[in-house]
Amino acid sequence: MAMAGLYRRALPSPPAIEFASPEGKQLFTEALGEGTMEGFFKLISYYQTQSEPAYCGLATLAVILNALAIDPGRTWKGPWRWFDDTMLDCCEPLSKIKAEGITFGKVACLAYCNGAKVEAFRTNESSIDDFRRHVISCASSEDCHVISSYHRGVFKQTGSGHFSPIGGYHARKDLVLILDVARFKYPPHWVPLALLWEAMDTIDKATGHPRGFMIISRFHKAPSVLYTVSCRHEGWSKVAKYLTEDVPHRLKMNDVKDVENLLSLVFKSAPVDLKEFIKWVAEVRRQDVAGVSSSEEEKARLIIKEEVLKQIKETEIFEHINRWLGSEISVCQGYKQTLPEIAANVCCQGAQLLAGQLSSLDETCCKETNVVLVQAGGVSPMTLVSGKITTNGVEQGIDMLVPSSQTEPRNILCDFDRSNCKGMHPSTADVLTVILLALPQHTWSGIKEEKLLTQLNRCVSIENIPSLLQQEVLHLRRQLHFLMIDLHEPSASG
């Protein structure tokens, strides 16, 4: 009786040596004695099979994030916080990854926005000697791991582009252990490092760029507490291209006289998705388990967020943006927000996090939104946004702890009721402020007016801002960098 589908593939050997074969076991024993299998044990403890044929990048990343003991900050199933490949959708919708795979740059961005430190190298940005050095370093430690992006054809395997973690290194024979996450297809196997470099040094036809490798490790502390770049909406690439390419070009082509004129040039012609490009890191909890009390961790994080928000509002560029928003209200309705609108936005972002995913929810997910100030354990009053959300037909009440600033907000947020205006985040002015601070300094080099260029460089320089805010800005710059790696690359490996 004929059976549908495929059951595994025979591993082409040579060039590969199956890990569980007698020779593979001997290589493991020798490498263990040489001290270049230290990272293996953490990886094998959390090794998983990709849940979809095109999820190799997601599964590889989930294995490494769990091996590094990075807390995802959101639940997987039940009460458990855990990385699974189906949760890694902050840089691309899962439906798109399932159909097309994921790019080299998006995997790097995914790792970074989920709390990992990332060093990404395409083969044209590195060398085989550098690659070997990184492999030896990570194989000899539990503190970092290597992701390889390569073409299977070089190993005589079926398929094309693929991601997998490197589990170890045999120095005397210059072999690397590939922990293939497509375990339904091929088992873990040893291959010559030089051949893996050759497999990485291939052009991804979908991107036009070489493949490469990444070094993934832990930050000593979270890279961000308040902001993150969002590239899940369809217009993210237009926004990134506009900010990094179009804005510098427009500044070169136009005679900009002052800061307010510059703000009009930058923001009045921006893509409509600009407001969705920067999201905030939320504190969300279910009403039935939360109550008014807050944990010490929640209080500490909220205090830091409020300090960052305060530092934003104390910057010179924030003052210019606030004045510009007030003067441009009649022609810039797209940037106008009232407190209820902000609360609804906050509620929906919280609903997405509570669901354990960042996928789009129905537009009616948030209703009965309410904003109150509550006293929590002797600390300063907190802004609490409460709302009702509907997920898969089930209604659930949620509370969001929202950082507030004591700085008096301008009229942009106070049209409906001045008594309730507390400078609540996220507001238009502070988001636009961090966008400008996050752009690289060379963005402004095309400004012709020397006095304005000097003034703007002073306004957006991160050298003179407090360290907390500087950390947030550098986090956003790094995310933008990873997105720009393959800005024009529509798809990638599976």
| Interval 220-263: pLDDT, tens | 766 556 777 776 666 677 888 888 888 999 999 888 888 989 99
**Higher-confidence position of 324 and 417:** 324
Looking at the predicted structure, is the pLDDT value of residue 421 above 50? no
426 cis-preceded (ω within 30 degrees of 0): yes
Looking at the predicted structure, is the pLDDT value of residue 186 above 80? yes
Distances from the Cα of 212 to the Cα of 40, 138, 200, 278, 487, angstroms? 21, 16, 5, 28, 17
Spatial separation of the C-alpha atoms in residues 167 and 452, rounded to whole Å:
53
Residue 389 φ/ψ, nearest 5 degrees? -120, 155
pLDDT digits (tens, 9 = 90+) for 118-151: 999 999 999 999 999 999 999 999 999 999 999 9
Coil, strand or helix: which one is 214?
Answer: strand
Question: Degrees (nearest 5) of the Cα angle 173, 179, 185?
Answer: 115
- Across-strand partners of 351? none
Largest CA distance in the chain: 82
207 in the Ramachandran plot: left (φ > 0), alpha (ψ -120 to 50) or beta? alpha
Spatial separation of the C-alpha atoms in residues 456 and 122, rounded to whole Å:
34
pLDDT of the residue at 92: 73
Question: Degrees (nearest 5) of the Cα angle 17, 23, 25?
Answer: 100
Q: Look up residue 59 and give its DSSP letter.
A: H
pLDDT, average across residues 438-466: 89
pLDDT digits (tens, 9 = 90+) for 342-400: 555 555 555 555 454 444 444 445 555 555 555 555 555 566 666 666 655 666 666 66
For the chain, which domains are there? 17-218 (3.90.70.30), 233-409+419-486 (no CATH)
Nearest to 41 by CA among 150, 171, 134, 177: 177
CB atoms within 10 A of CB 296: 8
pLDDT digits (tens, 9 = 90+) for 80-90: 889 999 888 77
Spatial separation of the C-alpha atoms in residues 337 and 411, rounded to whole Å:
10
Distances from the Cα of 493 to the Cα of 107, 166, 189, angstroms? 10, 17, 20
Indicate which residues carry an active-site annotation.
56, 162, 180
